[in-house]
Amino acid sequence: MRFIITTALLCLYSWLCAQQAPVATPEALPEGGFYSGRISVQLLAAEGSIFFTLDGKDPRGKHKQRYTQPIDLARTTVVRACVRHEGRWGPVVSHTYFIDEPSTTLPIVSISLDPNVLFHPIYGLFVSGPNTVDSLWQKPGANFWSKKEVAASVEIFETTGQCVYRSLSGLRLFGGMSRLFPQKSLAIVARRRYGARRIAHRIFGKDGPRKFKYLVLRNAGSDWGKAHFRDALMHSLLEGWDVDRQAERLAIAYINGKYWGIYHLREKINRYFIAAHHEVDKDSIDLLEHRGYRKRGSTYHYLRLLNYLRQRDSLDDAAMAWVASQMEVDNFIDYQIAQIFFDNRDAGGNIKYWRPQQSNGRWRWILYDTDWGFGLHDSTAYQFNTLAFHTEPNGSAWPNPPWSTFLLRKLLTNDGFRQKFVQRFADRLNTSFRTEHMLAKIDSFYRVLLPEMPRHLARWHLNRQRWEEEVARLRTFARLRPQYMWQHLRTYFQLSDPIELQLSTTPGGYIKVNGLVSIPPGQTFDAQYFPNIPLTLQAEPKLGFRFVGWEGLDSQDPILHLLPQQLPTHAIKATFEPYQHPLTGKLFFNEVCPYNPHTNDWIELYNAAAHPIWLDGWILTDKKNRAELPHLVVPANGYLVLARDSVAMAKKHPYIYNLSGSLQFGLNKYSDHLALFDPQGAMVSTTSWQITPMDTAFTLSLMLPWLDAAQPDNWELRPGHGTPCGANSYYLENQIASRQKLWSEVGGAAGVLALALLLLVLRLRGHI
């Protein structure tokens, strides 16, 4: 009973506290950011007293100072502050003032917390502590093996200097053996109990997730003190692959105002990561790691798959089809290709895979922690036969135990899988793993890091020559690994030497090789493929072009399935020609509104033909977007208006008789290019503009309906809301002027005629 009463009183107290107005957060003027020279910081609050610290300690603790006058700062400092009002503390806010810091092209993450949390000799998370077993290199018992989460203030500054995140957050140490390095990896967690629930910023650009619950500051893992970008390099080489991988961005960290070196900002692999990249419920997934260890959900589905495979010595096509219904085969192949090419011999330990908990949910593999690849521990690693290593049936307990190679070995017993594996590996060697491509990636990382590394190396007492040597090792691996990889494939699968091909296209279309490699218009692609492994070539015209045929092959079939040795020549070119629709000049863009705050953007089409035109499946594009039109019609000698906001459009222009809200993208008011194509890709109409736009609503209109809409000089820019579903203003004005001139000319001619008749009458009457 006493327990129940106590619990009720505590709940009542919590409820009463919740009813009180929250204590305000102090405002800092100026806000944290980047400054030159001394600055004076004011702290403001509407009510209550402000307390602050300058050493990272909690401003609610015993080391706090009461704010009474502006704070004078001469060096980089974190000001942590909060308000106390009527016996209650408000939230802690931190502002980092970077004063006369070296310039950088990298984003900055500033972390502030009580330094004792990290550095206290007994319980600090960054130190070994009293319980360490120093005789073992893993240092078991050290404080830095802790999984404890602590509260810390976190600020993230973009390269522009803008602070995009400022909140109290959770902080933990992150990683495995890399915790032994003095620069520790850290995980940042946004939780409601600290402050913001999410880091609401596109950390990794417009194509990355728009918000995060977790971020990782990675110290480069096992590559720390070496090249410092191995793992990031390998992930960058997989752009466009069917592999789940972490986004990556170089960054600089500060802790309590002190420079803490170069880190790699990464996503954290967990259910939030999966939900951010796939349309799945984060709470309805199976997530496993290593040898089927459960992180989320259930192991049942995966164990059933393994049991099915163990019951068969080899997989026929029917069995392989069932396996493909349980796992995403292309994803698994890409995952294995990456690990094998990189020579990541630690791949047996770092395995994560997941599936949505749905009847058709299939397993996918996540690539991470590839630091041991690209020659980390072996200057001649480019020679190592990692394909044989990853298919070894009796490997050592570490790093390639039989259970870690079982799935690949079993799938390779199916002929179709073997062919697909070899062909996909060849595709990757011809593209992502081309030496030129890999060297360009290495140089890109090197150029970004070059101005940053001296400070980082000095901070951690590392050697510049060692760093340069490690980067050189990466370049050596990139130059020599492909030739050894071709040899390993040939040996393992008992194949003949690959055949060299030269594939090219004329401007106007692409070649797709095996549905994976895309050769851009007008370019030549030198590649090699193994004989007796089927090759698929597909010619794909750009919009406005059509495929003519293959030079070097007697075929006009856009899709070819053949063996490389069957090609009559090793130089093949896909040819294309412009493809114009018969309705060109009959159906065209007549008016465009790229800016109007009242109606949003809209486009007007005009049909000058004597019959209606249906647009079902037609394609509308601009510089960045492509959309397929629904079942629409443009009446004979009539208009169709495509609007972003059909409701607002109808309200502003109630007389519109043919309106559709089918404009699926916005227009650029400064510069854009519109094009209309039929479903087969034939060009129907196009227009473009490059203007200095007005500050108010305006339209671009074709001056006369018989002019070529593709010529920018035939358009005029007009202020106002335009004339949707009506003749353009210039045309109307031109027609009125023409009629006025006609009537003026007719009137003058009638006057002359009347005068002539009058003179004739007078003469006949003898008056003249």
Contacts for 16 with CB less than 8 Å, ≥ 6 apart: none
How large is the average pLDDT for residues 613-633? 94
Residue 106 lies in a domain: yes
255 and 320 inside one domain: no
Its domain, for residue 171, covers 27-266
Residue 538 lies in a domain: yes
CB-based contact 595:697 (threshold 8 Å): yes
Query: DSSP for 521-590?
Result: TT-EEEEEE-TTS-EEEEEEEPTTEEEEEEETSS---SEEEE-GGG-S-SEEEEEEEE-B-TTBTTEEEE
The angle at the Cα of 437, spanning 435 to 439, to the nearest 5 degrees, equals 65
768: confidence class by pLDDT, cuts 50, 70, 90: very low
Distance CA 697, CA 135 (A): 75
Residue 2 lies in a domain: no
pLDDT of residue 350: 83
pLDDT digits (tens, 9 = 90+) for 366-390: 999 999 999 999 999 999 999 999 9
* Tally of domains in the chain: 5
How large is the average pLDDT for residues 462-472? 97
Encoded amino acid at 387, one letter? L
Cβ burial 206-237 (10 Å sphere, 16+ → b, else e): eeebeebbbbbbbbbbbbbbbbbbbbbbbbbb
Residue 514 lies in a domain: yes
pLDDT of residue 758: 46
Residue 546 lies in a domain: yes
For tokens 């690209």, what's the residue? 374
Contacts for 182 with CB less than 8 Å, ≥ 6 apart: 460
Burial of 582 (0-12, 13-18, 19+ CB in 10 A): exposed
Predicted confidence (pLDDT) at residue 341 exceeds the cutoff of 80: yes
The two tokens of residue 313 are 């010595």
How large is the average pLDDT for residues 677-699? 92
659 and 722 inside one domain: yes
Q: Count the Cβ atoms, other than its own, within 10 Å of residue 511.
A: 23
Predicted confidence (pLDDT) at residue 5 exceeds the cutoff of 70: no
pLDDT of residue 15: 53
Residue 465 lies in a domain: no
pLDDT of residue 148: 95
Predicted confidence (pLDDT) at residue 761 exceeds the cutoff of 50: no
pLDDT digits (tens, 9 = 90+) for 241-265: 999 999 999 999 999 999 999 999 9
536 and 630 inside one domain: no
Predicted confidence (pLDDT) at residue 3 exceeds the cutoff of 50: no
pLDDT digits (tens, 9 = 90+) for 507-562: 999 999 999 999 999 899 999 999 999 999 999 999 999 999 999 888 899 999 99
pLDDT of residue 750: 53
Domain boundary among 493, 523, 541: 493
217 and 334 inside one domain: no
Q: Where are the beta strands (DSSP E) in 134-238?
A: 150-157, 163-174, 185-189, 214-218
Predicted confidence (pLDDT) at residue 323 exceeds the cutoff of 50: yes
> CA nearest 388: which of 482, 493, 466, 469?
493
pLDDT of residue 344: 92
259 and 291 inside one domain: no
135: confidence class by pLDDT, cuts 50, 70, 90: confident
pLDDT of residue 740: 57
pLDDT digits (tens, 9 = 90+) for 695-710: 899 999 999 988 999 9
pLDDT of residue 266: 96
570: confidence class by pLDDT, cuts 50, 70, 90: confident
701 and 734 inside one domain: no
Domain boundary among 233, 266, 299: 266
pLDDT of residue 555: 87
721 and 752 inside one domain: no
Domain boundary among 245, 266, 287: 266
250 and 189 inside one domain: yes
Predicted confidence (pLDDT) at residue 10 exceeds the cutoff of 60: no
Q: What's the pTM?
A: 0.86
pLDDT of residue 747: 55
Predicted confidence (pLDDT) at residue 743 exceeds the cutoff of 70: no
Considering the chain, what is the average pLDDT of its residues? 91
Predicted confidence (pLDDT) at residue 279 exceeds the cutoff of 70: yes
Percent of the chain with pLDDT over 90: 84
Would you say how long the chain is, in residues? 768
Predicted confidence (pLDDT) at residue 613 exceeds the cutoff of 60: yes
Percent of the chain with pLDDT over 70: 93
Predicted confidence (pLDDT) at residue 8 exceeds the cutoff of 80: no
CB-based contact 555:523 (threshold 8 Å): no
728: confidence class by pLDDT, cuts 50, 70, 90: confident
> CA nearest 530: which of 559, 504, 500?
500
How large is the average pLDDT for residues 446-453? 97
660 and 608 inside one domain: yes
Residue 273 lies in a domain: no
147 and 233 inside one domain: yes
Residue 467 lies in a domain: no
656 and 559 inside one domain: no
723 and 739 inside one domain: no
How large is the average pLDDT for residues 438-456? 98
